[in-house]
Amino acid sequence: MNTSHLSNELEAFLEYISVTKALSQKSVEAYMSDLISIEEELKKPLINLDTKNILFFLTKYTNKRTLNRKLSSINAFFDFCYKSHFSEQKTKQKFAKIPKLLPKFLSYEEIQSSLKLIDKSSWLGLRDYALLMFLYASGARISECLALELQDLEDGWLRISHAKGEKERIVPIAKIAIKAINEYIKERPKDTQKVWINYKLDPLSRISAYKITQKYLGVSPHVLRHSYATALISGGADLRVVQELLGHSSLLTTQIYTHIQKQDLKNTVEVCHPLA
C-alpha cells in the first residue's frame, strides 16, 4: 500500500484506524485502498471533494456490495474529519440497498449423489470423503475444520476451540461422519494429531480444502456450513439452537435462515390448503 502521497487528513485517518482504533491490518488496507483510489483518480485531497465529485467517482461500481464498502470507508473518513474538526460538516452518503439473499446451499440429495462418486480406494479419496462429510455434519467454519485435532473428537461430540473470538463450543456430530473420519485416519500414512493432511503429509491448507469441495460439489466449503444450517431449520430446529451450533455471537446473524422457514410455511399452505 503506497502511502507516500497521502493528504494530511487521510494520513491522520490512517494513524487513527491503525493506532487508536487498532483495526486489523486487513481492515486498514481495505479502508485505505478505497480512499486512496479516490484521491488518486480525482487528483484532489478527499476532504476537498464534494458530494457530486464522490458520487461521480462511485458510478463505476455496479456491484452493490462493493459500492456499500466504498461508501462505508468514505463515511468513516468524513466522520473522523468532523470529530477531529478538520471539517465543519458531517458528510454522509446514502448506502445502496442490498436485497436480503438466502445463502447458497445444497440439498442432502445433491451432497449424497456427489459423495457416491468419490473413489475411496486410496487414503486421499477417504480423506476427501471424510472432509465433505465432516463439513456437512458439523457446520464448522473451514478455519475451525482445518484446526481440528484428534483430541477434539470424542464419543460423537466435536469440541471447536479455534472459533472466532476464541470461544469454545461443543456440537454433536453424526456417527456416519465419525466413521468416515476413522476410516481415513486408519489408512493415512502419517500419525499426527492434526486430522486433515495433504499428499505431502503436511497440514491441509484452505486452498486445498477449497479445491476439494469445488472438485466434488462445485461450491466453496462455506456452502456446506449453509447447507448444514438449512437442513436443521428445514427439519424444524429452533433458531437459538442453530445459533449455538453455528457459533454465532448474535441471533441476528442466524436469522437469515428464517427465510427458509417462511418458504416452507408458504409451500405447505400451497400444497395442503384447499383455497391455495
Residue 69 falls in the annotated catalytic set: no
Among the listed residues 69, 159, 169, 222, the single catalytic one is 222
DSSP the chain: ---TT--HHHHHHHHIIIIIS---HHHHHHHHHHHHHHHHHHTS-GGG--HHHHHHHHTT---HHHHHHHHHHHHHHHHHHHHTTS-SS---PPPPPPP--PPP---HHHHHHHHTTS-TTSHHHHHHHHHHHHHHHH---HHHHHT-BGGGEETTEEEE-SSGGG--EEEE--HHHHHHHHHHHHHSS---SBS-B-TTSSBPPHHHHHHHHHHHHSS-HHHHHHHHHHHHHHTT--HHHHHHHHT-SSHHHHGGGHHHHHHHHHHHHHHH-TT-
Among the listed residues 31, 136, 184, 257, the single catalytic one is 257
Residue 162 falls in the annotated catalytic set: no
Residue 222 falls in the annotated catalytic set: yes
Among the listed residues 141, 162, 188, 226, the single catalytic one is 141
Residue 206 falls in the annotated catalytic set: no
Residue 225 falls in the annotated catalytic set: yes
Among the listed residues 65, 83, 164, 240, the single catalytic one is 164
Among the listed residues 184, 225, 226, 228, the single catalytic one is 225
Residue 179 falls in the annotated catalytic set: no
The residues that are catalytic are: 141, 164, 222, 225, 248, 257
